[in-house]
Amino acid sequence: MRLNGSCACGAVSFSVETPAPLPYCRCYCPDCRKTSGGGGFTAWMVALAETLQIEGEENIAVYAHECPDGRDSVDGGGRRFCKHCGSHLWFFDPRWPRDLHPFASAIDTPLPVPVKTVDYYTRHKASWVPLPEGDAHEICEDAYTVGMIDWHKQNGFYEG
């Protein structure tokens, strides 16, 4: 499935192919929680990095940070955001070079409702944020340990 996304001001637009079009992941790490401006977490997806096409690339800035597990997200990693309006577009983790993680909030393509979510770094969640309950939610106190495409394959959500 092709995902089309953009920033709020229109300076950046992008498209990317995904074999797993579910906005399935919610991350509560300090970086996601503080930069998303949302409900105490950031929702993101997985796509194929090699398929990324960008218009307005000159308007993109990168925020590289240290992850809660002490790992640095430099070496090509980090968040891409519009340097004009601040919209977060995607992040890249060099541990999984084939995966690109667009933020669900940046996607303009209609997305399916996820039947299962994974909540990461929940030990860092804000005290006012309740965690979801039930079998449809996989709660992880720390980081993901498997590539996201592999997670989709293991859970039967891979369409590639």
pLDDT recorded at residue 66:
63
- Tell me what pLDDT residue 5 has: 98
Give the strands of the sheet with 117-120, arranged side by side: 42-44, 25-27, 117-120, 137-139
* pLDDT for position 112: 86
Cβ atoms within 10 A of the Cβ of 108, count? 12
E-only strand ranges, the chain: 2-6, 13-17, 25-27, 42-44, 47-48, 53-55, 60-63, 78-82, 88-92, 99-102, 117-120, 137-139
Residues of the chain with pLDDT under 50: none
pLDDT given for residue 8 in this prediction: 97
Tell me if 126 sits within 8 A of 33, measured CB to CB.
yes
Q: Which residues of 17-43 are buried (b: 16+ CB within 10 A; e: fewer)?
A: bbebbbbbbbbbbebbbebbeeebbbb
Question: pTM for the complete prediction?
Answer: 0.86
pLDDT tens per residue, range 53-89: 999 999 999 988 666 555 555 566 788 999 999 999 9
Strand 53-55 relative to strand 13-17, pairing: antiparallel
Q: Phi, psi (5° rounding) for residue 24?
A: -95, -20
2-154: CATH topology is: 2.170.150
